[in-house]
A and B are shown apart, each in its own frame.
Chain A
Amino acid sequence: EDKVVQSPLSLVVHEGDTVTLNCSYEVTNFRSLLWYKQEKKAPTFLFMLTSSGIEKKSGRLSSILDKKELFSILNITATQTGDSAIYLCAVEVWGSGTYKYIFGTGTRLKVLA
Chain B
Amino acid sequence: GAGVSQSPRYKVAKRGQDVALRCDPISGHVSLFWYQQALGQGPEFLTYFQNEAQLDKSGLPSDRFFAERPEGSVSTLKIQRTQQEDSAVYLCASSIRDRGAYEQYFGPGTRLTVT
- In the complex, B25 has a CB within 8 A of chain A: no
- CB neighbours of A32 from chain B (8 A): 100-101
- In the complex, B1 has a CB within 8 A of chain A: no
- In the complex, A112 has a CB within 8 A of chain B: no
For A100, give its contact among B42, B56, B109 (CB under 8 Å).
B56
Asked whether, in the complex, the Cβ of B33 is within 8 Å of the Cβ of A104, the reply is no
The A/B interface has a contact count, at CB < 8 Å, of 62
- CB neighbours of A94 from chain B (8 A): 100
Asked whether, in the complex, the Cβ of B100 is within 8 Å of the Cβ of A45, the reply is no
Using known A-B contacts A48-B101, A100-B56, determine if residue A105 contacts B108 with beta carbons closer than 8 Å. Answer: no
Query: How many B residues have CB within 8 A of the partner chain?
Result: 25
For B43, give its contact among A41, A92, A103 (CB under 8 Å).
A103
- CB neighbours of B113 from chain A (8 A): none
Interface size class of A (residues with CB under 8 A): 20 to 34
- In the complex, A101 has a CB within 8 A of chain B: yes
- In the complex, A31 has a CB within 8 A of chain B: yes
Asked whether, in the complex, the Cβ of B55 is within 8 Å of the Cβ of A42, the reply is no
Q: How far is the CA of A58 from the CA of B48 in the complex (A)?
A: 30
Using known A-B contacts A42-B91, A42-B109, determine if residue A105 contacts B42 with beta carbons closer than 8 Å. Answer: yes
A:88-113 near B, CB below 8 Å: 88, 90, 92, 94, 96-106
Q: Mark A12-36, 1 if CB is under 8 A from B, else 0.
A: 0000000000000000000110101
Q: Which residues of B does A touch, CB under 8 Å?
A: 4, 33, 35, 40-45, 48, 50, 55-56, 59, 91, 99-101, 103-109
Q: Which residues of A does B touch, CB under 8 Å?
A: 4, 6, 31-32, 34, 36, 41-45, 48, 50, 88, 90, 92, 94, 96-106
